[in-house]
């Protein structure tokens, strides 16, 4: 039997068995996920439609600015998908347990490589497809595009994401020997230097330090004008943007030409991957596994040396926290992705220094204030869904060791929450303080933002740890797959809903009584937000502890 066909049949059988064994809670979880995904798509379409509609109100430059925005969208997608695929592909291709399983069978390395590459691209770009397609649909709807525009745009976006994913895969395969040659400390320093260089180049392109408050509306135009690569005829984003614009204008010949150019350059990667799979993938996988085993031997030696030292009493909480810190720091994928999140936070905070100074009305200041609070909470929600939700699942099949330890199960849930809370609250407080200093918020709003961020950190951490204990996946060692599963997606949508409710409670006095409500109403909203946070956290902890207690090993 063809090995590729066998693997596909195995995947389809696995999905079918999961569908047959679906239970009431799984059905409810799936409904919530699809309902939340539908709301995200609907909100994305509405926001995009209103934005393009507002731009079209300026006939002198509206059409040109919309075209620039489409080009900027594909430029951003290319960078984000490549970075995401580089991180996911390395773990999926070299370190995943399923890859070990496939190598134990008579499956050619080239077949394994193509299967794992497809899996890495799917994990790194599926959310991008659902978030960006509504933007292009709104653009075509406003332009009165024909019906054939929508399948053409879907095909163009799919091919573009494949191009970006394959580019990231090639980069991951190229840097894999370098990553294995570096120690953990050297890898951390190298990643920090690269991210700092990227951040400096990105901020330098805005010319932040040369602009005054009256010219801030020119930032976007200057930024896109300086990105000459974005408008180059050799840039893949330009091919995709030109194809979309041509399809919206019913110029199907141009759309076919630009889309064909993008597809042809995408197919170039296939013989390269085939050659790598035949000649180098097997030896490189063996080298990666030997490096991993060498690291395990080094860990055993360190544990043996620690055991020879004079014994002292270890606090269970301290021991488990130290274990999680070491496991997190020794995982290159987790560490690099966390640094990428920190980089995004730094860029966002620095960009707020250039908010126009003529936003002097109190209504606009309040709008920017709560929008900033929502943006910071959204970033933290993504962080907790990606890193905190898989924490318990990453114990893996050896979880029985921790499960049989002389500690209660609810203590384990609390330990994961304390570990996540320290990271989440620290990052949240730093970015909320910097952003509100950038916005020059008055003292009462500044303190309110800090208070709201503390509550948001507790909410997000309790949801991630509680739902992570309710829906653990102990047979999966890839945190990306755990985070994008039904449980992780459910946690992301519930976290977004919880943060929305929290911000609504904090903004309620201003919505009801204007920009200067009585202090009694403001304090009342703080109390309501505190009660909501306490009830939600208590419910999540009890739910996670109860489900973990009923689990057998």
Q: What is the pLDDT of residues 439-450, one digit of tens each?
A: 778 888 888 889
Least confident of 133-147, 342-356, 471-485: 342-356
pLDDT for the residue numbered 214: 44
Residues 223-228, mean pLDDT to the nearest whole number: 53
Q: Pick the residue with more confidence: 480 or 101?
A: 101
Given its phi and psi angles, is residue 460 left (phi above 0), alpha (psi -120 to 50 degrees) or beta?
alpha
Q: Is the pLDDT of residue 363 over 80?
A: no
Average pLDDT over all residues of the chain: 78
pLDDT for the residue numbered 212: 46
Give the SS3 label for residue 457. Answer: helix
Q: Pick the residue with more confidence: 62 or 13?
A: 13
Tokens representing 468 are 């992570």
* 97: confidence class by pLDDT, cuts 50, 70, 90: confident
Q: Pick the residue with more confidence: 22 or 466?
A: 466
Q: Are 537 and 459 in contact (CB under 8 A)?
A: yes
Q: Is the pLDDT of residue 157 over 80?
A: yes
Q: Pick the residue with more confidence: 19 or 176?
A: 176
Which of 436, 456, 457, 471 is CA-nearest to residue 551? 471
- Cα(418)–Cα(538) distance, integer angstroms: 14
pLDDT in tens, 468-511: 888 887 777 677 677 777 777 788 888 888 888 898 888 888 88
**Percentage of the residues of the chain whose pLDDT score is greater than 70:** 75
Least confident of 231-240, 318-327, 351-360: 351-360
pLDDT for the residue numbered 305: 54
- Cα(227)–Cα(200) distance, integer angstroms: 15
Mutual orientation of helices 269-279 and 109-143 as an angle, nearest 10°? 160
Q: Would the pTM of this model clear 0.85, i.e. be above it?
A: no
Q: Is the pLDDT of residue 218 over 60?
A: no
pLDDT in tens, 111-127: 989 999 998 888 888 77
| Kind and range of the H or E run holding 42 | helix 24-55
**Cβ atoms within 10 Å of 444's Cβ, excluding its own:** 10
pLDDT for the residue numbered 21: 62
Q: Is the pLDDT of residue 88 over 90?
A: no
- Cα(426)–Cα(457) distance, integer angstroms: 9
pLDDT for the residue numbered 415: 82
- Cα(391)–Cα(326) distance, integer angstroms: 13
* 401: confidence class by pLDDT, cuts 50, 70, 90: confident
Q: Are 457 and 421 in contact (CB under 8 A)?
A: yes
Residues 48-75, mean pLDDT to the nearest whole number: 77
Q: Are 39 and 191 in contact (CB under 8 A)?
A: no
- Count helices and strands in the chain by DSSP H and E runs: 21, 0
Q: Are 383 and 339 in contact (CB under 8 A)?
A: no
Burial 122-144 (b: 16+ CB within 10 A, else e): bbbbeebbeebbbbbbbbbbbbe
Q: Is the pLDDT of residue 162 over 90?
A: yes
Residues 6+ apart with CB under 8 A from 125: 81, 84, 85, 161, 164, 165
Burial of 84 (0-12, 13-18, 19+ CB in 10 A): buried
Highest mean pLDDT: which range of 76-80, 156-160, 197-201, 350-354: 156-160
Least confident of 13-22, 126-135, 381-390, 391-400: 13-22
pLDDT for the residue numbered 294: 47
* 268: confidence class by pLDDT, cuts 50, 70, 90: very high
Q: Is the pLDDT of residue 27 over 80?
A: no
- Cα(306)–Cα(304) distance, integer angstroms: 5
Q: Pick the residue with more confidence: 186 or 430?
A: 430
Q: Are 543 and 394 in contact (CB under 8 A)?
A: no
Q: Pick the residue with more confidence: 66 or 210?
A: 66
pLDDT for the residue numbered 213: 45
- Cα(65)–Cα(293) distance, integer angstroms: 54
Q: Are 457 and 427 in contact (CB under 8 A)?
A: no
Q: Which residue matches tokens 């609070």? A: 373
pLDDT for the residue numbered 155: 92
């Amino acid at each position: 039997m063809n090995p590729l066909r066998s693997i596909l049949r195995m995947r389809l059988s696995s999905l079918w068995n999961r569908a047959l064994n679906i239970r009431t809670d799984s059905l409810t979880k799936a409904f919530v996920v699809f309902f939340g995904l539908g709301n995200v798509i609907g909100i994305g379409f509405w926001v995009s439609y209103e934005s393009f509609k507002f731009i079209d109100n300026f006939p002198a430059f509206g059409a040109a600015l919309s075209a620039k925005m489409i080009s900027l969208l594909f430029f951003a997608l290319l960078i984000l998908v490549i970075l995401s695929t580089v991180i996911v592909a390395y773990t999926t291709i070299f370190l995943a347990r399923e890859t070990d399983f496939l190598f134990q069978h008579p499956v050619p390395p080239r077949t394994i490589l193509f299967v794992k590459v497809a899996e890495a691209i799917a994990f790194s770009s599926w959310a991008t497809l659902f978030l960006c397609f509504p933007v292009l649909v709104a653009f075509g709807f406003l332009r009165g595009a024909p019906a054939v525009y929508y399948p053409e745009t879907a095909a163009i976006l799919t091919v573009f994401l494949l191009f970006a994913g394959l580019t990231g895969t090639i980069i991951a395969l190229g840097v894999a020997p370098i990553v294995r040659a570096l120690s953990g400390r050297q890898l951390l320093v190298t990643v920090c230097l690269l991210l700092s260089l990227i951040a400096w180049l990105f901020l330098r392109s805005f010319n932040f330090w040369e602009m005054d408050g009256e010219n801030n509306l020119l930032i976007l135009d200057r930024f896109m004008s300086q990105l000459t690569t974005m408008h180059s005829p050799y840039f893949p984003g330009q091919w995709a943007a030109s194809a979309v614009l041509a399809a919206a204008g019913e110029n199907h010949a141009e759309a076919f030409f630009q889309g064909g150019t993008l597809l042809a350059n995408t197919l170039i990667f296939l013989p390269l991957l085939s050659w790598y799979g035949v000649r180098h993938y097997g030896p490189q996988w063996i080298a990666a596994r030997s490096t991993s085993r060498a690291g395990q031997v080094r860990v055993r030696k360190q544990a043996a040396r620690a055991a020879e030292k004079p014994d002292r009493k270890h606090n269970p909480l301290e021991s488990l926290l130290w274990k999680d810190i070491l496991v997190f720091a020794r995982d290159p994928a987790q560490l690099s992705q966390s640094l990428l999140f920190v980089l995004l936070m730094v860029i966002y905070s620095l960009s707020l220094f250039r908010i126009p100074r003529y936003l002097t009305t109190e209504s606009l200041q309040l709008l920017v204030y709560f929008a900033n609070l929502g943006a910071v909470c959204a970033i933290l929600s993504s962080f907790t869904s990606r890193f905190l939700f898989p924490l318990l699942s990453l114990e893996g099949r050896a979880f029985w060791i921790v499960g049989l330890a002389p500690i209660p199960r609810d203590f384990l849930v609390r330990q994961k929450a304390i570990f996540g809370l320290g990271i989440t609250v620290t990052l949240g407080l730093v970015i909320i303080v910097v952003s509100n200093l950038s916005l020059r918020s008055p003292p009462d709003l500044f303190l309110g933002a800090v208070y709201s961020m503390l509550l948001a950190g507790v909410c997000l951490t309790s949801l991630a740890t509680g739902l992570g204990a309710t829906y653990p996946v102990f047979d999966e060692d890839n945190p990306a797959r755990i985070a994008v599963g039904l449980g992780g997606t459910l946690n992301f949508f519930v976290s977004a809903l919880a943060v929305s409710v929290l911000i609504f409670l904090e903004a309620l006095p201003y919505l009801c009584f204007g920009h200067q409500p009585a202090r009694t109403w403001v304090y009342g909203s703080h109390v309501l937000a505190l009660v909501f946070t306490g009830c939600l956290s208590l419910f999540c902890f009890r739910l996670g502890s109860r489900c973990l207690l009923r689990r057998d090993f």
